[in-house]
Amino acid sequence: MILTVTLNTALDLTYRVRSLRPHASHRVSEVIERPGGKGVNVGRVLAALGHEVTVTGFAGGGTGRAVREGLAGTEGLTDALVPVAGATRRTIAVVDEHSGDTTQLNEPGPQIAPAEWATFLDRYTELLSGASAVALCGSLPPGVPVGAYAGLIRTARSLGVPVLLDTGGEPLRRGVAARPDIIKPNADELAELTGSHDPLRATESARRRGAHTVIASLGPNGLLATTPEGRWRATPPGRVHGNPTGAGDSAVAALLSGLVTHLPWPIRLTHAIALSAATVRAPAAGEFDRQTYEELLGRVTVTGQAGVA
Torsion of Cα atoms, 16 then 18 then 22 then 23, to 10°: -100
- 28-36: strand order across its sheet: 28-36, 10-17, 89-96, 102-106
Does residue 172 contact residue 136 with C-beta atoms inside 8 Å?
Answer: no
Residue of 79, 166, 249, 289 marked active site: 249
Q: Does the annotation mark 249 as catalytic?
A: yes
**Cβ neighbours around 71 below 10 Å, total:** 21
Q: Catalytic amino acids?
A: 249
